[in-house]
Amino acid sequence: MPEQAEFTGPVAGTREVSGTGWSLRDQSPIPKLLVYEDFESDGLVRGHLGVAFGASTTAPDGVLVCGVRPGEWLLLGERSGSVPPASGAVTVDLTHGLAMFRLTGPAARHVLAAVCSIDIAEAMLPNGAVCGASVARLACTLARDDVAGEHSYLILSQRSAGRYLFEALGDAGGSRT
Amino acid sequence: MLLVPCPNCGPRNSADLTLVGESEPRPDPAATTPVEWRSYLYEEDNPAGWTRETWYCRLGCGRFFVTERHRAENRFRNPPLGPSGEPPGRT
């Protein structure tokens, strides 16, 4: 029987840093499933997930469903009922392929704005919004997912660049405090 | 800064996108001479005026789209279209 490989995060040592009004946590071990809609599925997958491109919602089973691209969704969390039926959907487990960090706090927006290519003002990226953008010159997916009314962003990048991104975000926050 | 109107993401900095080149119909490989094929692949009209271009939204939605740009004034006009001329984006 094959052994289950232990998940090793992209960030060695400390997996959380914080400053005045912000904290950054490595959440890479959270399961991540990418779902593509088959061209012939005629919207079945979107109907099942109920999320449009650029938006996100929390499914009844607690999974955060993000519309990351037209016809593509990212499911974040231990999934059960969120996974669409096999017909019309292609799923790829990216748990080990993506790094994921959560930037939280009243100053989180300013920390992220220092290294992000797009306008992340409240009107442009409200709670629940999802977009692709350059963060510290990396191609990343941003998901605004506020926690208890506090600004919070999920930032996903290629796992191989995870340590760099973690340090770049920490440096951006450090330069503000 | 040049703002490119991505049909899915809205106006984005051109650094987030890649200009693929002028958009023109793909010739039929079976009925095209090598000279015509080379012209399609490598040559551009590059007018100092309006032209149809294909852009790739590299850091945003990851989709190709066609739009019209004035190459002398860097202005865009008309809503962008998908690579086949249809409104893009399956949301």
* Per-residue pLDDT reduced to its tens digit, B25-67: 889 989 999 999 999 999 999 999 999 999 999 999 999 999 9
The ranges assigned to domains in chain A are: 17-29+96-174, 32-93
- Res B34: pLDDT: 93
Annotation: CATH topology of B3-81: Folate-binding fold (3.30.2270)
Measure in Å the smallest separation between the Cα of B29 and chain A Cα atoms: 26
- Res B91: pLDDT: 37
Domain A17-29+96-174 has CATH 3.40.50.300: no
Return the structure tokens found at A15: 């997996």
From first CA to last CA, the distance across chain A in angstroms is 51
Q: Which residues of B touch A139 (CB under 8 A)?
A: 58-59
For A:148-177, CB contacts with B below 8 A are none
Cross-chain residue pair B88–A70, CB shorter than 8 Å = yes
Window from A41-45, A87-91, A115-119, B19-23 with minimum mean pLDDT:
A41-45
pLDDT digits (tens, 9 = 90+) for A98-115: 999 999 999 999 999 999
Q: Which residues of A touch B8 (CB under 8 A)?
A: 53-54, 70
Q: Is the pLDDT of residue B90 over 50?
A: no
Window from A47-61, A124-138, A143-157 with minimum mean pLDDT:
A47-61
Q: Which residues of B touch A70 (CB under 8 A)?
A: 8, 61, 63, 88-91
- Distances from the Cα of A28 to the Cαs of A37, A147, A154, B34, B69, in angstroms? 24, 18, 10, 51, 41
- Res B4: pLDDT: 93
Average model confidence (pLDDT) for chain A? 88
Measured between CB atoms, does A34 come within 8 Å of chain B? no
Q: Which residues does residue B21 pair with via DSSP β-bridges, in sequence order?
A: B54
- Res A13: pLDDT: 73
Specify the higher pLDDT residue, A147 or A84: A147
Which of A75-84, A101-110, B6-15 has the highest average model confidence (pLDDT)?
A: A101-110
Find, in chain B, the residue whose alpha carbon is nearest to that of A140: B59
pLDDT digits (tens, 9 = 90+) for A22-33: 999 999 999 999
Residues A137, A142, A147: CA angle, nearest 5 degrees: 135
Measured between CB atoms, does A19 come within 8 Å of chain B? no
Q: Which residues of A touch B57 (CB under 8 A)?
A: 132
Longest distance between any two alpha carbons in chain A, whole Å? 52
In DSSP notation, A103-154 reads EESTTHHHHHHTTBSS---TTTS-TTBEEEEEETTEEEEEEE--BTTB-EEE
ipTM above 0.85, yes or no: no
Using only the alpha carbons of chain B, give its radius of gyration.
14
- Res A2: pLDDT: 59
Measure in Å the smallest separation between the Cα of A37 and chain B Cα atoms: 9
Q: Is the pLDDT of residue A161 over 60?
A: yes
Measure in Å the smallest separation between the Cα of B87 and chain A Cα atoms: 13
